[in-house]
Structure 1
Amino acid sequence: MSARRVLSFRHIREDEIAALIGYITDECARGGGCTVVEIGQLITRTVNDIVVRSAVGGRCPRRDEFLHVLDRSVKLAGGFNLSDLYPSSALARWLSGALRETERCNRKARAIMDDFIRERVDGAGESTEDLLGVLLRVQKDGGAQCSLDLTTDIITTVVQEMFVAGSETSSTTLEWAMSELVRNPRVLHKAQAEVREALHGRSKLVEGDLAGGRLSYLNLVIRETLRLHAPLPFLLPRQCREPCEVMGYHIPEGTKVLLNAWALGRDDSYWEDAEAFKPERFEESGTAAMDFKGGHFEYLPFGSGRRMCPGVALGLANMELLLASLLYHFNWELPGGGRPQELDMSEAFGIAVSRKSKLVLRAMEHIRFEN
């Protein structure tokens, strides 16, 4: 997705993030200035709403049902499947049942999307600049802007991929960022000091406030979070197009190859004190130039080349404003007087490396939010 298209969704991001900050502010008011929230769930819901509105405009009437089906599909794809070990065995496929359930979820998700597309097409000439509206306009024009025959099936697939790529990476990374910040008070206080000093006097943050690299340390926090917690630990599978040899191993043509981006980000050969959360490492001469575009193979949170994650630009846009707003308006700590080092950082197995336990934090209002 182009930077121009991502920028066109700016008002959606600002609206949904303001709704989140307003909700936490109201809860703090009811709690005498502080409240305990399951911040991971709130982040996920906010990011999902941003992606839904950006993709299909407004809030999809069957939003919760659609997101539940997609979430189930992602979990099935990343879970253990006996037929992966014995792909030629009909018995293994029958015993696991995962393939049947995945197909059922895909059919249901496509049925919901088909209904929504049908409603949009029958909408008496409605023209919106969300992703679905743009794709339908291109399809209606007969593909004059696109060499590809843009069928409804392709449109459905593109929109579904945006849901997964744009929401899963953002919400997972933001939840890990809040986890690492609470677990490392020095970094948390430094990030909050930067945000509050740079944006002093504002009652609500908008994307324009963050322009010009004003929050350089916050950007380092996001980069360090992506190093330790790559959203897709094995990226997307690649396939060998011709036989090759890697480190003495012969790789036949057609071999499916998985790249362990999670391990690369924690490799002591490339990173000093690799397991520590130190955003400052990206200010050092050897790592300052590293970005998310895949030019440095020891740092591949979104992959590299033509097959890198298509939702990078949208995901990063969601992350910065949301994280800045949470740090600007509230102080954060573990509830019940828990020590930062006691926060459980266990990871859940799947396509995306998410937290195994829920992230529940105590929010204390610091700067009053006014919408």
Structure 2
Amino acid sequence: MAIDIMWFKEFVAATLVFLLTRLFVRSLLLKPNRRLPPGPRGLPVIGALPLLGQMPHVALANMARKYGPIVYLKVGTCGMVVASTPDVARAFLKTLDINFSNRPPNAGATHLAYNSQDMVFADYGPKWKLLRKLSNLHMLGGKALEDSAHIRSVELGHMLRSMCEFSRRGEAVVVAEMLTFAMANMLGQVILSRRVFGTFGSESNEFKDMVVELMTSAGLFNVGDFVPSIAWMDLQGIEGGMKRLHRKFDVLITKMIDEHMKVAHERKGRPDFLDALMANRENPNGPKLSIINIKAILLNLFTAGTDTSSSSIEWALAEMLKNPSILRRAQEEMDQVVGRNRRLEESDLPKLPYLRAICKESFRLHPSTPLNLPRISTEACEVNGYYIPKNTRLSVNIWAIGRDPDVWENPLEFLPDRFLSAKNGKIDPRGNDFELIPFGSGRRICAGARLGIVLVEYILGTLVHSFEWKLPDGVVELNMDEAFGLALQKAVPLAAMVTPRLSPSAYVS
């Protein structure tokens, strides 16, 4: 009997060893590699949040130099992965695009974007697809951009005449204010069939301040987004500021819609973008838009549509003022193609390779969005041998990619000629060449990428062609410091003296 018991114990032990070994081997075969990407340890509760500092894109670029092209951070209770090279960005935004097509919840989406009812923060799904489709069809697509070219020309004419008046009075032009005034009116004509601002002045400058505040606050790393249990405390005061700003924008947008509806009869047979949106409130064949959806997308267009493009133009002009030889060469190219008896037209742009190279160089060195808007993984996945858990937030450091010495020679210098070389000549900023993705890439690429490129090339070219530029008296060196936000602003707005250089008749129409 003792022998039987001993045999039974040995049999049970062997069986357990066999089963455990089988389970272990099976887990190795079935489970993905659980090795997370490297990154800093951080602090209890808040994790790596303090390490991001006031300039997160710079801090994350420094981390990438230390830990590698994929960095993993525990930020509060959330995991975040940061991609800092073209190859890794391609893996996340192209190969794994569908897995990273949603946005994580955050205070900006809740308090500014009507609880994610817009096109920027909405979940990837039928409502978002409808908003993108309507935007491309009626405003942001190739055919719609062609149809609205005359609007951009007319509004740019208004801005040029205002700048001539500043020149006549011997006053400096604050570039960002002028650009916001012109771009808001360009958008207003397409969306509402009217100008948003009748004259340049305090009203348009207040709007500019509101846009900058929105883009700045929405770009901040809010503690409550990463430690939800203490979000109600609003430790940084960010959410309170967002709520106050949202109320101001909601009053403005509600007024726009109400005034638009009152004169609907005047547009009979000539619907604008808001008419197209309103028509989908009663869509019988698919998802319907609510009035909140419509307000939210108008907020997207009037904020991101003005701020991102204006910042790219402002940075490019600042770089040219620092490098007068680049400014002169651009003017010489335009004088040869356009002459000095008329203004630049959008149809001239394909014949101006140096101007386009300047725009690409501005996108590279000063991307309007330094960190792409965050995405979140729907499922766990693997990238470059590293395990990325489900619900991990993704940031692509577009700023770091543009300054990567392994990608760009002399990356900190403003050298438009790099885009005229055989190596980089075909690189395009529309999201397929991951060395230059100022508008992001994949399904969630900026919906206004085409419009943004047209605005930057056309407006920058017109400003350079139409005026001589110099710094105000007493300003010896430009301040090129950055101010972090969703859009990368100049910390000190560019102010410059301008002098008309074309025939007087060119500024009339």
SS at match of 1:204: coil
What is the alpha-carbon distance in structure 1 between the residues aligned to residue 197 and residue 156 of structure 2? 21
Match of 1:58 in 2: 194
| Structural mapping, 1:39-118, within 5 Å | 39-60=175-196, 64=204, 68-90=209-231, 92-93=233-234, 95-118=235-258
Find the aligned partners of 1:43 and 1:313 in 2 and give their Cα distance. Answer: 18
2:442 equivalent to 1:317: no
Q: What letter corresponds to residue 263 of structure 1 in structure 2? A: A
How many residues matched?
A: 360
Residue of 294, 319, 322 corresponding to 1:183: 322
335, 344, 368: which is aligned to 1:196?
335
What is the CA distance between 1:201 and its match in structure 2?
4.1
Whether 1:136 aligns to 2:275 is no
Structure 1 336/68 Cα, relative in aligned 2: closer, same or farther at 3 Å? closer
Residues 75-128 of structure 1 deviation map (CA, whole Å, 9 limit, x = unaligned): 2212353424533215642x3332133133224423432333233233353324
Cα distance, 1:67 vs structure 2: 5.5
- 1:152 maps to 2:282: no
Deviations 1:25-71 (A, max 9, x none): 2333344xxx5322232223222222233222213479746655444
Aligned residue number for residue 95 of structure 2: none
Larger Rg: 2
* Cα distance in 2 between the residues matched to 1:16 and 1:124: 23
Q: Which one-letter code corresponds to 2:381 in the other structure?
A: C
Counting only pairs closer than 5 Å after superposition, residues 278-293 of structure 1 correspond to structure 2 as 278-293=415-430
Matched, 1:207 2:346: yes
**Residues 375 and 394 in structure 2, CA contact (< 8 A), matched pair in contact too:** yes
Is residue 275 from structure 1 mapped to residue 415 from structure 2 by the alignment?
Answer: no
Aligned counterparts of 1:261 and 1:308: Cα–Cα separation in 2 = 13
Structural mapping, 1:203-352, within 5 Å: 203-208=342-347, 210-211=348-349, 213-247=350-384, 249-336=386-473, 338=475, 342-352=477-487
Change (3 A) 1:89 1:3: same
Q: What amino acid sits opposite 1:306 in the alignment?
A: R
Q: Identity rate of aligned residues, in percent?
A: 32
Contact map agreement 1:333 1:361 (CA 8 A) in 2 = yes
Larger RCO (CA within 8 A; separation ≥ 6) = 1
**Corresponding residue for residue 123 of structure 1:** 263
Whole-angstrom CA distance in 2 between matches of 1:91 and 1:55? 37
Question: Equivalent of 2:310, from 171, 175, 179?
Answer: 171
Tell me, yes or no, if structure 1 residue 366 matches structure 2 residue 490: no
Distance 1:29 1:114, change over 3 A: closer
Match of 2:128 in 1: none
Distance 1:27 1:106, change over 3 A: closer
Given that 1:70 and 1:109 are in contact with CA atoms closer than 8 Å, whether structure 2 keeps it comes out as no
Q: 1:91–1:26: structure 2 CA closer, same or farther, 3 Å change rule?
A: closer
How far apart are the structure 2 equivalents of 1:41 and 1:346? 18
* More deviation, 108-117/260-269: 108-117
Counterpart residue identity of residue 343, structure 2: K
Amino acid at match of 1:171: S
- Counterpart amino acid of 1:366? R
Secondary structure, in 3 states, of the residue corresponding to 1:305? coil
Segments of 5+ residues of structure 2 without an aligned counterpart are 1-139
SS class of match (2:473): helix
Distance in 2 between residues matched to 1:69 and 1:328, nearest whole Å: 30
**Residues 138-186 of structure 1, C-alpha deviation per residue, up to 9 Å, x if partnerless?**
44xx326x73212222111122111223111110000001001111112
* Contact 1:12/1:50 (8 A) holds in 2: yes
Taking structure 2 as the reference length, the TM-score comes to: 0.66
Q: TM-score, normalized by length of structure 1?
A: 0.89
> Structure 2: how far apart are the matches of 1:109 and 1:321?
28
List per-residue Cα deviations over 1:260-304 (Å, max 9, x = no partner).
000000000100111111111112222122112221222111000
Q: Distance in 1 between matches of 2:369 and 2:405?
A: 20
